[in-house]
Chain A
């Protein structure tokens, strides 16, 4: 979502909280280390790395096999944990051919937004945000915990498929803890202060939309 508008990558123009117009061509991010939580337990997914690509509808949903239990919250990391950033060649969601790996300064791009904005002073009015950095002061890794709505629980049982539906409000990318104006910052492609600010912003853009116990 962008505010109340659905995220569309078809040239649809959005307005950020500062009235700056933009459209999105690419929106990709990693969700990793997913687990379901209750008061006493955490059920982790093995090899939990998912690349969400807004241009690729099949990436907008995925399966997670959990142990049987009743859960009250979902936890995940936006990005790829530091260990996998330093462990050499990976495959699957972490394959470098997904265009989410920096080849000259090893490490994953945790979240990527590219598009066009008349407010951008770049060639072709482009806006380019490649948010990464996994170590020390430059880390943009964010662990998110989302409690299910009051009274809602996820009942995981063998042979059943439950659903958790999330939504994200992209307006928070620009304005949350930090103010990111396109006129001032049309580009961010290296780890550092600006990347951290944007990551801090987007870290709270997810919310639980619906829990479905089938």
Chain B
């Protein structure tokens, strides 16, 4: 049996050693972690326009993803009134990078809707523009998020990707894992015939309206409803911007 004095000394030394080693390791690796995270997000963003990319995102190396993102994507930040913000304004709002890719959607979701900052990614391909918007919502267990790409008429969907924090594999996680789920969004329309915003609904039991609905995933109704709500609320944030550009197009 060791004395109490010895126990306390042992524990103190052990704690200090462990704390130092782990803190040093975390600090040293932090730049790598940040770079990885940024690249992972870029992958998600350009995956929304996967059909327009030179090859599927899954087959791209990190360098190729960075290259496509840097050379073909124009990014800017808007507010909910659809006004474009300058880099200084974004930095002032608490994002030192000042770019759309730095926007933390979770932080923005907690803000009052009128104060939100929204990232826009414009992808150029063969003379046409595609606008990628980021959305975030709640699944069954935790956060879900995604990127939805609209064609330059701001109505037709060019593609969508989804990701999640901890949905069930084989059920809710299919929104990310199953390419057939996200492919369904291609060609859908977010406005009805008479110009009303209807978003896209993930329908349990199979899509009924071919223009505005996609098939749900059996066993994952709550996640699917989460996707529906996320798309509606997320696109609603961008609505001033979308409507403004849409009316310009109609005038032209």
Do A and B interact with each other, yes or no? no
Question: What is the interface of chain B, defined by CB distance below 8 A to chain A?
Answer: none
Residues of A within 8 A of B (CB): none
